């Protein structure tokens, strides 16, 4: 074969290859453009979701605590009253104590205390010894926990119980509570919310913002109790008139309020 003929064949092959390559370019370019467009659409959609969550999560809030206190008169009294009996034998001490406790209960029932308001809170029997450790007798103590809703009759009831028992009577701490406190709590809550709203407004104004709405309220009810402690007394030291002053008692409510803010 001549050299001219070889060159012609090589030129024919080269032009034929160029023809095939030039025919593939439009299809390849179109595929690349389609994929790029799809990626742009997906990317734009993803950014929109993230921005939506970001806007919802950037709400400014302020949390404050407000307190409200009102005074009320106690309507319930609680006290512990019991009998202590000493006897040379345990059985005799227990028998004597039982009789005195029955007399104590009867006196309470006649003076405004109901059976539902009395509950045995302690019953103890222990021996008494001298310096040499020799048993000299036995002591029995029986105590009642009394809750009276007729506060004005408590003084008479305690006096009658002491007289019925005699020198063996024991009187422990006296405490007062407010059981019918719904109206007091309502007033205390209103004051607490007013104080919380005032504090939130002042803080927001100081930060060049203003309160828009309430997001969350937590009610932290806290009723205080006033207690009067009567020292342990015996029948000989109790007077005919037992002075009991109920005084007043605070009812306190605390609220934690979360407000949203706007500039």
| Global model pTM greater than 0.85 | no
What are the structure tokens assigned to 68, written together? 């409200």
Lowest-pLDDT choice from 34-38, 82-86, 218-222, 257-261: 34-38
Phi first, then psi: give them for residue 229, nearest 5 degrees: -100, 120
pLDDT at 244: 80
pLDDT at 241: 55
What sign does the CA torsion over 10, 14, 19, 24 have? positive
Contacts of 235 (CB under 8 A, 6+ apart): 162, 163, 165, 166, 167, 168, 169
**Structure confidence by residue, pLDDT tens digits, 45-95:** 222 222 222 345 567 999 999 999 999 999 999 999 999 999 999 999 999
Alpha helices per DSSP H over 60-213: 90-109, 154-165, 182-206
pLDDT at 57: 52
**Structure confidence by residue, pLDDT tens digits, 172-205:** 888 999 988 899 999 999 999 999 999 999 999 9
**Structure confidence by residue, pLDDT tens digits, 70-79:** 999 999 999 9
3-state secondary structure of 64: strand
**Structure confidence by residue, pLDDT tens digits, 118-158:** 999 999 999 999 999 999 999 999 999 999 999 989 999 99
Q: By percentage, how much of the chain surpasses pLDDT 90?
A: 61
């Amino acid at each position: 074969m001549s050299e001219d003929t070889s060159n012609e064949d090589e030129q024919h092959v080269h032009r034929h290859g160029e023809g095939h390559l030039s025919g593939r370019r439009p299809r390849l370019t179109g595929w690349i453009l389609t994929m790029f467009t799809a990626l742009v659409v997906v990317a734009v959609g993803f950014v929109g979701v993230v921005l939506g969550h970001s806007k919802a999560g950037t709400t400014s809030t302020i949390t404050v605590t407000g307190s409200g206190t009102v005074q009320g008169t106690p309507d319930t009294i609680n006290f512990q009253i019991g009998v202590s009996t000493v006897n040379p034998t345990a059985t005799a001490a227990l028998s004597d104590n039982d009789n005195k406790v029955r007399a104590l209960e009867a006196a309470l029932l006649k003076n405004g205390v109901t059976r539902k308001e009395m509950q045995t809170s302690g019953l103890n029997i222990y021996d008494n010894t001298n310096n040499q450790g020799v048993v000299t007798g036995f002591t029995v103590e029986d105590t009642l926990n009394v809750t009276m809703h007729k506060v004005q009759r408590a003084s008479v009831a305690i006096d009658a119980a002491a007289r019925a028992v005699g020198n063996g009577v024991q009187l422990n701490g006296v405490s007062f509570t407010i059981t019918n406190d719904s109206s007091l709590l309502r007033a205390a809550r209103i004051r607490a919310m007013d104080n919380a709203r005032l504090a939130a407004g002042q803080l927001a104004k100081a930060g060049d913002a203003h309160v828009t709405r309430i997001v969350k309220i937590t009610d932290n009810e806290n009723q205080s109790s006033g207690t009067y402690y009567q020292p342990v007394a015996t029948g000989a030291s109790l007077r005919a008139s037992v002075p009991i002053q109920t005084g007043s008692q605070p009812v306190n409510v605390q609220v934690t309020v979360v407000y949203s803010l706007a500039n």
